Structure 1
Amino acid sequence: MRVYSDRGEGEHFTMEEKLNHLIEHELELKGAIAGVSIRDATTGEKVYGHMGDIRLRPASNMKLLTAAAALAVLGEDYTFTTDVLTESSIINNQLNGDLFLKGKGDPTLLPEDFDRFAKKVKANGIDVIDGDIVADDTWYDDVRLSPDLVWSDEHWYYGAQISALTASPDEDFDAGTVIVEVAPGDAGDLPAVAVTPDTTYVQVENNAKTVASSGDEDLTLNRVHGKNTITINGTIPAGSASVKEWMAVWEPTGYALDLFRKALERQGVLWTGELKTGQAPEKADGIYTNESITLSELLVPFMKLSNNTHVEILVKEMGKVVHNEGSWEKGLEVVETEMEKLGLNMDTSVIRDGSGISHMNLLAPDEISILLHNVQGVEWFQAYLNALPAAGKPDRMEGGTLRGRMNDRDVQAKTGTIEGVSTLSGYLKTEGGGEFIFSIMLNNLLDEENGPAVEDKIVAVIANQ
């Protein structure tokens, strides 16, 4: 290979030569693997490759495959529904039997949605329920966590459990989580703790301490395994800003049921039975059906903010729609089938989940760049492209995970990070008016936080063409 010293003054280097020199001499990968695949966006011709055919861990670049499959199978206008049901009669403002809340995967249900459900119950003339309030999550199976999720991730928002009936604390739609905010008190006092939304489903053990303003913020939040007890330990300085963490709950179905319970109480609706989980009878009648935002709208927070819960719900939904089984196994079968239709060779790939959080997922950069080229020709491509983070755009729902990177580049791409892995794949326009597709996959990094700088240098070489 020729390096820069081989050329005389005034001679120009090709993109291939620049990238080879950058990867082999300047990036200081220190034993890490860099897989790179670059294609002409119009023709699909591969114009550069470095270990492009080597299977690597994709991290959240896996979402590029799952999002494409969901758009192909479910469609841009697909919505999730949630039903309030009963099979019993209403006489003198009393429901003579059970009330059912049946979830069908909607990850966007907010506390105010449960208030609306309760108001619909009241509007149907129900003041008393002579029976149980039953949460039905049987639309999907009862496997809550993907097979390779690291145990230490399960209490964080990105490791939230998957249920067909769940709830989100805010409009990022981090389904299956609550927001825990810790605010300092006076030095020596316990800090104040607030949980959003207001729910008794989680309890807080506050063992933290407010220290002098010159002290360190060193808080540790955790959730006890198998319980909804959140522990807070460590220190927070007096006068400092509050600390917020999004914590995953144990069993989201019960979380949604608790929000529904509180909403019914606010409407003055009483019941004689219990709060429990179960299955609604097939012949149950609808009191109210709630419809979510469309898939194309959901893709924006999903892809821009790289939401793992959204994508795993979509995997199960595809399994339910195609195979009548809302499971990872059946959903991933659908993903693989759709990727084959889009030209990928799934015989050389390993897919273990929809989000890429598994270290067992294996994809080659060449396969990702093939996907990104081929989806340009499908009817839902604009929704797909619109959902990708846009470099340097400060708005979270535009720039997403790229809002603080490559401010001078015209790049739309999906980021990805798990321990030892950093990836970036997408579309860019060059300074000379060219358009390229790229996939950069860095594996075996000593510190994955160094990955974005490496990726940005590679993108800069492409963009300067």
Structure 2
Amino acid sequence: MARAASMQTRPAYSYARLSPFAYSLTRVALSMLDRVVFVLSRYLMLSGVTRVAGLVLCLGAGGSAVAAPMTLSNLASLNRHAQVSAFVMNLSDRSVIAELNADQRLRPASASKLYAASAALQQFGSDHRFTSRFTSQAPVAGTTLKGDLVFVGGGDPALDTPALRTLVARLAGRGISTITGDLVIDDGLFGPVPCLTTDRCSARQRSSHAYSAPLSAAGVNFGTVNVTLYPGESPGRKSRVVLQPAELPGYRIDNRVTTVARGGRAAVSAWRTYESGVSTLHTRGKLPVGYGAYDFQRGVANPARETANMLATLLREADIRVQGSVRTQSTDYDSHGALLAEVKSETLAEQLIPMLAYSNNYMADTLTLDVAADSGYNLPLTLPRASQALEALADRADALAYGSAGNGSDAAFTSGSGLSLGNNISARDLVALLDYMYHQDALFPAFYGAIPVPLSAPSRTLKRGNFDFQTRIVAKTGTLSEPVTVRALAGYLRLSNGGFAAFAVLINGTKDNPALTYQQTVTAYQHDLEAILAAY
């Protein structure tokens, strides 16, 4: 397989260790630069320059105005013992660049998040900000709120501890120091969201990961608890466990991480269990002297209750005394009385960058619920019912891309994250979505700018291609391991004439051959895409 000569002269930079904030800042800068390129390329395309340049390329060998579709040889070989659906389309004229079983519907895993991002942008707009607020129906007399303080969850998919600190500070800024009633957390925007996947249902009792956190309109920190481990000062000493914030109630600690000699290898396992209203954090392993902070997150048992405990702690830190109890409820979102304080999220466009880069399941599914709630779906919401909005989007995209030639989309969704096993779409469906967003002039810059560029992406899956693969595509990955291997990649590639193409690859294991290796899957689509980039 021919590789770009530039690989031998250009350094292969890696940004995998950037913090989420630094990564987001980098992607915003890259997005702004690409918007300029995008506007110029669209102008050239509309003026005929791009189309003429593409015609010259197609006429290069043999004089045919339309190049024959390329063969996806590596994916075709993989298709002999796996299920593969692949499609690549030039967006300037919707001509087919390559295809393989383009209409076969398979599980897309986290490539589903492209639908969640698109639906949210269309529902709210790229500059939308989610609002979390304190309200009360009780009067304020001097420094005393004579009744309940209600936190109204606004479905912010990225609500975090710093945002809640700001909210509490704004309440304190009004001069309130005593609340005679209860602290109430209201997640009525969605209503109680039932768990419908094995991972999320299991997480209510035990969680060894962050990706399977339960959902709530009032959740914080992506439905996880943030924990930091510090090694002891000398070998044999016990490590120290710190919750964020440090006085967070509702947890007991079972810490058996020991300290080993400086220079040793860190090895830690951690999980959370829940029983009789109390969560226990279990930690095992070892940390070397001088290791520094070892951070991890684990899904919480009840996200609304976690927010209640978090706010109770932050109010106490701010010297605001709650005389009543701390509780949760689900009521009418618009029936909470007078506004006391509020905090707004980053714009939706900014939130989509880390959601797609880090493939955040909590954010994608929360956005799916947000779209359904804003569309007037009956409460309480379930994720499969909310995902009907994604199916409607797939139908619209199919109609735009293929018109009467399309057979209508039979895409099926039960989540926006792809964590559920009920999502089934084809490569042609995904390319239709990408084409649909390409033609949304007001939304495409935010959508395109949120999809990771391999060179600066945190995902290692995108790090092994040649320089063209690293720099000329934006792509969302998808991975599942059970019950069969799922690998997916979808996004845009820049053509040498300045235009755009959309591509999608879905790979699923079979009943007879459920487990597929990285070498079999990622290398196959990587090499075939490199060949397309070399030709176009």
So what's the TM-score if we normalise by structure 1? 0.86
1:126 aligns with 2:176: yes
Match of 2:473 among 407, 411, 414: 411
Q: Is the 8 A contact 1:391 1:407 kept in 2?
A: no
Q: CA deviation at 1:322?
A: 0.9
- 1:205 paired to 2:254: yes
Letter in 2 for 1:386: G
Q: Contact 1:393/1:402 (CA < 8 Å) preserved in 2? A: no
Relative to structure 1, the CA distance from residue 267 to residue 24 in structure 2 (aligned partners, 3 Å threshold; closer, same or farther) is closer
Letter in 1 for 2:394: M
Segments of 5+ residues of structure 1 without an aligned counterpart are 1-10, 169-174
Partner of residue 362 from structure 2, selected from 299, 309, 324: 309
Q: How much has 1:246 moved relative to structure 2? A: 1.9
Provide, for residues 37-93 of structure 1, a one-character-per-residue CA deviation record: whole Å limited to 9, x for no partner: 111121222232112111111011111112111111222222211121111122242
CA contact (8 A) 2:150 2:336 kept: no
2:158 and 2:363 in contact (8 A); partners too: no
Indicate conservation of the 8 Å contact 2:477/2:487, yes or no: yes
Q: Residues 213-249 of structure 1, C-alpha deviation per residue, up to 9 Å, x if partnerless?
A: 6865442211115652221123444555654322111
Give the residue type in structure 2 aligned to 1:296.
A
Q: Residues 219, 15 of structure 1: CA spacing in aligned structure 2 closer, same or farther, 3 A cutoff?
A: farther
CA contact (8 A) 1:432 1:464 kept: no
- 1:111-190 correspondence to structure 2 within 5 Å: 111-147=161-197, 149=199, 154-168=207-221, 175-185=222-232, 186-190=234-238
**2:530 corresponds to which letter in structure 1?**
A
Distance 1:151 1:346, change over 3 A: farther
User: Do residues 391 (structure 1) and 438 (structure 2) align?
Assistant: no
Distance 1:241 1:272 in 2: 39
Query: Of 331, 335, 341, which aligns to 1:288?
Result: 341
Structural mapping, 1:36-55, within 5 Å: 36-55=86-105
Please tell me whether the aligned partners of residues 37 and 440 of structure 1 are also in contact (alpha carbons under 8 angstroms). yes
Q: Which residue of 2 aligns with 1:460?
A: 530
Deviates more, 1:82-91 or 1:219-228: 219-228
Q: Secondary structure at the match of 1:439?
A: strand
Greater mean deviation of Cα atoms: 314-323 or 204-213: 204-213
Separation in structure 1 between the aligned mates of residue 264 and residue 237 of structure 2, nearest angstrom = 14
> Displacement of 1:113 after TM fit?
2.4
Residue 442 of structure 1 corresponds to which residue in structure 2? Answer: 507
User: 1:84–1:288: 8 Å Cα contact kept in structure 2?
Assistant: yes
CA contact (8 A) 1:392 1:404 kept: no
Deviation at 1:401, TM superposition (A): 7.0
Which shows bigger deviation, 417-426 or 271-280? Answer: 271-280
d(CA) in 2 for partners of 1:165, 1:150: 17
Deviation at 1:258, TM superposition (A): 2.0
CA distance in 2, matches of 1:416, 1:167: 25
Query: Cα offset for 1:255?
Result: 1.8
Letter in 2 for 1:256: T
The answer as to whether partners of 1:33 and 1:442 remain within 8 angstroms in 2 is yes
Larger mean Cα displacement after TM superposition, 95-104 or 322-331? 322-331
Is residue 267 from structure 1 mapped to residue 318 from structure 2 by the alignment?
yes
The verdict on how the C-alpha distance between 1:120 and 1:432 changes in structure 2, with shifts beyond 3 A counting, is closer
Q: Which residue pairs with 2:148 in the alignment?
A: 98
* CA distance in 2: counterparts of 1:15 and 1:391, whole angstroms: 28
The count of residues paired between Structure 1 and Structure 2 equals 442
Q: Which residue number in structure 1 is paired with residue 444 of structure 2? A: 381
CA distance in 2, matches of 1:64, 1:85: 35
Report the counterpart of residue 172 of structure 1 in structure 2.
none
SS in 1 for 2:359: coil
Q: Paired residue for 1:7?
A: none
Q: After the TM superposition, which residues 168-247 of structure 1 pair with which residues of structure 2 at under 5 Å, given as runs? A: 168=221, 175-185=222-232, 186-198=234-246, 199-212=248-261, 217-225=266-274, 228-238=279-289, 240=291, 243-247=294-298
Q: Hey, what's the Cα distance between the residues in 2 that align with 1:30 and 1:214? A: 47
Gaps of 5+ in 2: 1-60, 400-406
CA–CA distance in 2 between the matches of 1:257 and 1:295?
A: 25
Equivalent-residue separation in structure 1 for 2:344 and 2:461 (angstroms): 28
2:503 aligned with 1:427, yes or no? no
Q: Identity rate of aligned residues, in percent?
A: 24
Q: Report Cα offsets for 1:298-343 as digits up to 9, x if no partner.
A: 1111112211111111111111111243432442122222221222
Cα offset, 1:463, TM superposition: 0.6
Which has the larger displacement, 278-287 or 247-256? 278-287
Which residue number corresponds to residue 58 of structure 1? 108
| Between structures 1 and 2, the one with greater helix share | 2
Supply the AA of the counterpart residue of 2:239.
P
User: Who is 1:355 aligned against?
Assistant: 417
Asked whether the 8 Å contact 2:70–2:97 carries over to 1, the reply is no
The equivalent of 1:321 in structure 2 is 374
Q: Which amino acid aligns with 2:243?
A: V
8 Å contact from structure 2 (residues 87, 428) kept in 1: yes
Q: d(CA) in 1 for partners of 2:236 and 2:80?
A: 46
For residue 393 of structure 2, the aligned residue among 335, 338, 352 is 338
- Aligned 8 A contact 2:82 2:508 in 1: yes
One-letter amino acid of the structure 2 residue matched with residue 89 of structure 1: P
CA distance in 2, matches of 1:73, 1:81: 16
Shift of 1:431: 4.8
CA spacing shift, 1:78–1:288, aligned 2, 3 Å: same
